[in-house]
Structure 1
């Protein structure tokens, strides 16, 4: 196969989620040196991002799903992830709930836990939590209709005045070596502000978001953090996270979580 065609095929493989060197070697039947050379060439052309042990697709401004599309996407997986996340919340904790439908699912599980204080920019969670007696502090700012969350300078200032025991963050995508990707700089920077104020950080994402660089604004993850995802995650998706000393990975069983909720 000519070099140009081979590299084009490799690009399509990376875009399709085949992101680590070992998998690419096996798929194409090529040596590690050849695969790494091709990945470097694709990266120099800004067609992919090089990562430790592999590559990631360059963010391509994918269309953001609407709030309703987010609500109906992967509901069972989000419930399982939220169930696992709720087990980390202890009585007396002050927790931050990020914008998004997975964190909204976590809020549903925290309803009625009056010993927990919730700080949030997620307007979807305010009513159910407050009506159940949970203390809620809402971070002000500009409302983003696609997620019903608040962002911008006012939200950033408010966050600088509080601290939390645990922060539960969502994302459009997460790449082990790069961090969280988002559709806007306001979203990515607000997550950075949250992490500065949190003793512990948890990232809640469904398996389809692992290794996904669908947007072009990034929040670096330069501290210890916990990834909670679902058991649809493939070995090659989880390997880059397991290779990071700062990351604790938990892939939860969707079937097991649903059984717990049905009891």
Structure 2
């Protein structure tokens, strides 16, 4: 599995540099054309590439998936990341939870803790609203049905009036030294305000999102932050993040523990 992920990342890098033919890719990576075709099909299914006659090209931008569809993608990895992230939350913390299926998985794990929770994640509202130990603050604003979250000027104004101990972000993709990417500038604008108001910043991103630059709106991360990912991440994917000053990398295994 890890070798396949490494090869798929190499394929993406080669396509980005202009190499798109199946036979040429097979020669560069010293594998059979049929192996490359299977890899390209998986990458096409995930939205990373579009198949062409004899090869593939990068998908730019990738179509944004709905929250309900994303909840079932890389489920084991997301649960491991959520389990590790839950260990970073202490009773009494004031935490800010972003939208996204991995952040939602974290919310479900801390719903019985004694916490103050601020969120724009509408999927978590029914969970926290029924808790006797959660003090819940919902960020109002415009609703994005595709991600089941709020955004816009009202949400940005609300978060400027608050501070939190820990922020847990989701993202469509993250590139070392560049930041995280999303489908719209409005999403990025709210995340930027969130980062400003948090003492500690954690980005929850499974291996498929590392190096993924297929959305058009970007948020640079120019302060200390922590990447929480899963064991599917290759050494090649993690190396540029580990080389960044101020960035901590945490890798969760199947039990949510450091690997």
| 1:98-125 Cα deviation digits (max 9, x unpaired) | 0011111111011111x21000000011
Give the C-alpha shift of residue 28 in structure 1.
7.8
Q: Give the secondary-structure state (helix, strand or coil) at the position aligned to 2:223.
A: coil
Give the C-alpha shift of residue 67 in structure 1.
2.2
Distance 1:13 1:75 in 2: 23
Taking structure 1 as reference, are residues 59 and 151 closer, same or farther at Cα in structure 2, changes over 3 Å only?
farther
- Give the unaligned 5+ runs of structure 1: 1-10, 19-26, 30-56, 259-263
Q: Residue 251 of structure 1 corresponds to which residue in structure 2?
A: 251
Taking structure 1 as reference, are residues 180 and 80 closer, same or farther at Cα in structure 2, changes over 3 Å only?
same
CA contact (8 A) 2:144 2:150 kept: yes
Taking structure 1 as reference, are residues 85 and 257 closer, same or farther at Cα in structure 2, changes over 3 Å only?
closer
Give the C-alpha shift of residue 16 in structure 1.
6.1
| 1:193-223 Cα deviation digits (max 9, x unpaired) | 0000000000001100001001010011000
Q: Residue 151 of structure 2 corresponds to which residue in structure 1?
A: 151
Q: Determine whether 1:132 maps to 2:151.
A: no
Q: Residue 240 of structure 1 corresponds to which residue in structure 2?
A: 240
Distance 2:215 2:14 in 1: 13
Taking structure 1 as reference, are residues 142 and 214 closer, same or farther at Cα in structure 2, changes over 3 Å only?
same
CA contact (8 A) 1:168 1:201 kept: yes
Taking structure 1 as reference, are residues 187 and 116 closer, same or farther at Cα in structure 2, changes over 3 Å only?
same
The aligned runs of 1:150-229 (5 Å cut-off) are 150-229=150-229
- Give the unaligned 5+ runs of structure 2: 1-9, 18-27, 31-56
* Aligned-residue RMSD, C-alpha: 2.2
Q: Residue 24 of structure 1 corresponds to which residue in structure 2?
A: none
TM-score, normalised relative to structure 2 = 0.77
Taking structure 1 as reference, are residues 177 and 101 closer, same or farther at Cα in structure 2, changes over 3 Å only?
same
CA contact (8 A) 1:59 1:215 kept: no
Q: Residue 93 of structure 2 corresponds to which residue in structure 1?
A: 93
| 1:43-72 Cα deviation digits (max 9, x unpaired) | xxxxxxxxxxxxxx9881111112221111
Q: Residue 48 of structure 1 corresponds to which residue in structure 2?
A: none
CA contact (8 A) 2:82 2:256 kept: no
Give the C-alpha shift of residue 94 in structure 1.
0.4
Q: Give the secondary-structure state (helix, strand or coil) at the position aligned to 2:201.
A: strand
Q: Residue 115 of structure 2 corresponds to which residue in structure 1?
A: 116
Q: Give the secondary-structure state (helix, strand or coil) at the position aligned to 2:168.
A: strand
Distance 1:74 1:28 in 2: 26
Give the C-alpha shift of residue 250 in structure 1.
0.7
Give the C-alpha shift of residue 129 in structure 1.
1.4
CA contact (8 A) 1:58 1:213 kept: no
